[in-house]
Amino acid sequence: MPETAPTAPFDENVRYKRAIRAAEEMFKRVGFRAVTMEMVAREANVAKATLYSYFKNKDELFIAVSARMARILRGGVEQALAKPDVPLDDRLTEAVISKHRLIFTLVRGSPHAAELFSYTHAMAGDIFSELDAAILRLLSNAMSTDPQFGSSADQLARALYFGSGQLATRCETVAAMEAELRTFSAIHLAGARALASRRSAERPAA
């Protein structure tokens, strides 16, 4: 009917997003290998033919799920950094914690986390490499606004980001991860500030 035509693109977008979210839940619940396109179609309440019109196979669907996760992770970092009333060091700390908190929620809470990380590395490595680069730019740009961090912003951002990642992977709970990363970030940033202050004091007067 003519009056329903304008809503069709919206409905199609809703179905597409629902399929991706359903696939994400299925991957977490039963693992990548056990999931079939038929299972996802049933979970998403869409026709199998509709699902295949969006994704030609399960690999493409997994990549779409990975891309959605990457967008969520980047959004969490951006949100943490975009708080001008919060001190910079606190924003940087919350940014790295936000990323790893979301990873716990999205993947690590699954009994199939190891399998999912393996397939992520194999099939969506480029997506998450681009995510790492984007987050590093966000951290570095934020640090470059601080006189004490400015000249070393890129190096400090890398140390904070990759150092926090190593710690996070060793933590078994979100609470333990947050505590570890808060301590690490505080020491890292305070040390960077102390070093910058010492270098400034040792610099010959003009």
Per-residue pLDDT at 163: 96
CB 70 within 8 A of CB 99: no
Cβ contacts of residue 133 below 8 Å, gap of 6+?
A: none
Per-residue pLDDT at 2: 41
CB 96 within 8 A of CB 185: yes
Token code pair at residue 113: 């986390």
Domain spanning 59-201, CATH class: mainly alpha
Strand runs (DSSP E) across the chain, as ranges?
none
Low-confidence residues of the chain, pLDDT below 50?
A: 1-7
Per-residue pLDDT at 200: 78
> At 40, which amino acid appears?
V
CA–CA separation, 154 and 161 (whole Å): 11
First to last CA, the chain: 79
The ranges assigned to domains in the chain are 1-56, 59-201
Q: How confident is the model over 46-85, as pLDDT tens digits?
A: 999 999 999 999 999 999 999 999 999 999 999 999 998 9
Q: What is the pTM of this model?
A: 0.88
Domain spanning 1-56, CATH class: mainly alpha
- Pick from 25, 56, 59: which is nearest to 39 by CA? 25
Per-residue pLDDT at 205: 58
Per-residue pLDDT at 81: 97
> At 147, which amino acid appears?
P
Three-class SS state of 144: coil
